[in-house]
Structure 1
Amino acid sequence: MQIDIGIAEADRKAIAEGLSKVLADTFALYLKTHSFHWNVTGPMFNTLHTMFMEQYTELWNALDEIAERIRALGYPAPGSFSQFAALASIKEETAVPKANEMIRQLVEGHEAVARTARAVFPTAEKADDQPTADLLTQRLQIHEKTAWMLRSLLE
């Protein structure tokens, strides 16, 4: 059935492609945050273990919102490791860094997702896609605030 939500197909496609990158970055950051939750050690263990759990839980829930918006626009959401790896700007961490390095990488990760989300915003605005703009605004607020909070731990 044809989609007629008031957004041209070419715009829906461009927005879905941008959101697919946001989804991939969010998934990459989710995996990194969850891994750091499992593997953090040191004097800040309890604080970071709990903080990372709150962060990966928020990221996990965001994945569904982003993927469902892609679907509402009429396109399939990427869902494989290879698709995410090709689309994500966040590099995986295969080692177990020290706690401060974990924090630094997570700051960089949240900033990367913010940049990826911000890049989709003009396309969504031009197409009068308010639901996507709202989703992006919410994601930007969360990632910028989380990056600030994590960055504060390094000072």
Structure 2
Amino acid sequence: MEAKIGISQENQAGVALELSKLLADEFVLYTKTRNAHWNVEGPDFYSIHKFFESQYEQLDEIMDDVAERIRAIGHYAPATLKTYLALTHLSEEAPTSNNSTGYIKELLADHQTVIIHLRENINRFANEYNDLGSSDFITGLMETHEKMAWMLRAHLK
């Protein structure tokens, strides 16, 4: 059944595509954070292992929220690895060593990429697609990623 929410079908499709790209980014970032959690080594192992766990738990919630937003505007959320890899702005490459600094730098760069793409779409969703709800939604996600990036940067001081 068509979602009659005051946004044209064409605009719903445009927002859904951008949210699908975001979902792909979140999934790749989640997977990379899980990898860091599982494989980090070094004298700071326990604390950084727990830190990465808190980050991937946040990303898990974000992925669910993004998928549900896609559904709320009348589209299906992508849910295959092939689709995620085709849509993502991120690389699934991992650092060559398993120390915390390498993982943190890689994850920080990915969060910053997500932040930039979110920021680029805030006004676009509101003005071009007339979807203030999705604009507000991704503004909140941007703020969450900014805080997560700050936490990562703090480990590099």
TM-score bracket for this pair, using the shorter chain length: over 0.9
Deviation of the 1:35 alpha carbon:
0.8
Task: After superposing the two structures, state which structure 1 stretch, 78-87 or 92-101, moved more.
Answer: 92-101
Deviation of the 1:134 alpha carbon:
2.1
Which residue of structure 2 aligns with residue 89 of structure 1? Answer: 89
Deviation of the 1:131 alpha carbon:
2.2
Runs of 4 or more consecutive aligned structure 1 residues displaced over 3 Å after TM superposition = 94-97
Long gaps (5+) in structure 2: none
Q: Distance in 1 between matches of 2:117 and 2:86?
A: 14
Q: Distance in 2 between matches of 1:123 and 1:23?
A: 18
Write the mapping of 1:1-155 to structure 2, written as runs, cut at 5 A.
1-94=1-94, 95-126=96-127, 127-155=129-157
TM-score, with normalisation over the residues of structure 2?
Answer: 0.92
Deviation of the 1:148 alpha carbon:
1.6
Aligned-residue Cα RMSD (Å) equals 1.4
Deviation of the 1:96 alpha carbon:
4.8
Q: How many percent identity over aligned positions?
A: 38
Q: 1:128 is aligned with what amino acid? A: N
Retained in 2: the 8 A contact 1:19–1:120?
Answer: no
Deviation string, structure 1 residues 3-25 (Cα, Å, up to 9, x no partner) = 21101111111111110111000
Q: Distance in 2 between matches of 1:102 and 1:79?
A: 26
Deviation of the 1:142 alpha carbon:
1.0
Task: After superposing the two structures, state which structure 1 stretch, 86-95 or 71-80, moved more.
Answer: 86-95
Task: After superposing the two structures, state which structure 1 stretch, 115-124 or 13-22, moved more.
Answer: 115-124
Deviation of the 1:116 alpha carbon:
2.1
Retained in 1: the 8 A contact 2:24–2:87?
Answer: yes
Q: Distance in 1 between matches of 2:117 and 2:89?
A: 8
Number of aligned residues: 155
Retained in 1: the 8 A contact 2:11–2:130?
Answer: no
Deviation string, structure 1 residues 11-56 (Cα, Å, up to 9, x no partner) = 1111111101110000000000011001111121111111100000
